[in-house]
């Protein structure tokens, strides 16, 4: 019969083993990609795990940034991601607040209709997205790619923010109205500051989905003028001569913006993801 102290030690040991396994599964491949991006082609295919420091090089990064169209793809991704993020925040805030605070006719049917889109694979939505963008003459344009990704982002964004707005006490808004605030002032000065964790989660989700999207871009984008980083990685990976060092360097450059954004928003994201766990 194990004592209580022994059971705690075994539980702690199992927890550490699980954490180490998760670290190896998720982090080690990314560290290996970053490590390979600084290695020469001969070192990558040489069969050796460790490379002497003298054999490290920045040629993979210089080639990706100067020889290929990677900077253009990077700029396209930045523009599209910012457009999707800002648009989704504005629309989802207004939509979620309206669904949370007003008794609209057929509100439940509308909510189910919006959320039901998450039940379908993204591939099934590509044909409707293509037809809509082609009819609007937005095919192969930056706004067209952003609109296609916005259709994927909005349902979750509305659902996330509606849950935050539902948990906010209405007395705060009533007090703001008594003090003379109109609807816009109440929303911007009272509701949004309190719901900031949820807004940050929605912002980060919208940016990451747009930044990493490939399916919509592969259908809507038909030229380098609208191609994004995911298209660049696909083209590097499907070349006749596969240069793994350049692919690794392009992958690292693609991941860096999301890591930087997460580092600045980490506190808000953790607060936003966990604040709904306890209900007052």
Q: What is the DSSP letter of 187?
A: I
Q: Which CATH number fits domain 67-277: 1.10.3720.10, 3.40.50.20, 1.10.1490.10, 2.40.37.10?
A: 1.10.3720.10
pLDDT at 278 > cutoff 60: no
Task: Kindly indicate the confidence band of residue 2, based on its pLDDT and cuts at 50, 70 and 90.
Answer: low
Q: Output b/e per residue, 170-188; b: 16+ Cβ within 10 A.
A: eeebeebeeeebeeeebbe
Cβ of 30: how many Cβ atoms within 10 Å?
A: 13
What average pLDDT does the chain have?
84
- The domain spans of the chain are 4-59, 67-277
What is the pLDDT, as a whole number, of residue 143? 93
Plot region of 104 (φ>0 → left; ψ -120 to 50 → alpha; else → beta): beta
Residue 39 sits at φ, ψ, to 5 deg, of: -105, 150
What is the pLDDT, as a whole number, of residue 279? 44
3-state secondary structure of 39: strand
């Amino acid at each position: 019969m194990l004592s209580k102290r022994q059971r705690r030690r075994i539980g702690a040991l199992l927890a550490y083993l699980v954490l180490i396994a998760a670290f190896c599964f998720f982090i080690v491949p990314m560290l290996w990609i970053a490590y390979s991006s600084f290695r020469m082609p001969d070192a990558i295919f040489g069969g050796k795990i460790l490379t002497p420091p003298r054999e490290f090089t920045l040629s993979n990064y210089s080639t990706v940034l100067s020889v290929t169209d990677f900077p253009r793809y990077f700029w396209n991704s930045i523009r599209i991601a910012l457009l999707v993020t800002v648009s989704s925040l504005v629309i989802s805030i207004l939509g979620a607040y309206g669904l949370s605070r007003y008794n609209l006719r057929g509100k439940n049917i509308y909510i189910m209709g919006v959320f039901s889109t998450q039940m379908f694979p993204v591939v099934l939505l590509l044909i409707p997205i293509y037809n809509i963008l082609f009819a609007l003459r937005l095919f192969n344009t930056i706004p067209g790619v952003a609109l296609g990704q916005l259709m994927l982002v909005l349902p979750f964004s509305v659902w996330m923010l509606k849950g935050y707005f539902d948990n906010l006490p209405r007395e705060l808004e009533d007090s703001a109205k008594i003090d003379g605030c109109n609807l816009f002032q109440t929303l911007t000065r009272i509701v949004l500051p309190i719901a900031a964790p949820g807004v940050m989660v929605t912002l980060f989700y919208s940016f990451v989905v747009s930044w990493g999207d490939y399916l919509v871009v592969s259908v809507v984008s038909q030229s380098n003028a609208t191609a994004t980083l995911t298209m660049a990685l696909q083209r590097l990976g499907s070349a006749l001569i596969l240069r793994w060092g350049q692919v690794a360097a392009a992958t690292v450059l693609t991941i860096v913006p999301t890591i930087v954004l997460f580092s600045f928003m980490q506190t808000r994201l953790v607060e936003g993801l966990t604040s709904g766990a306890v209900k007052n």
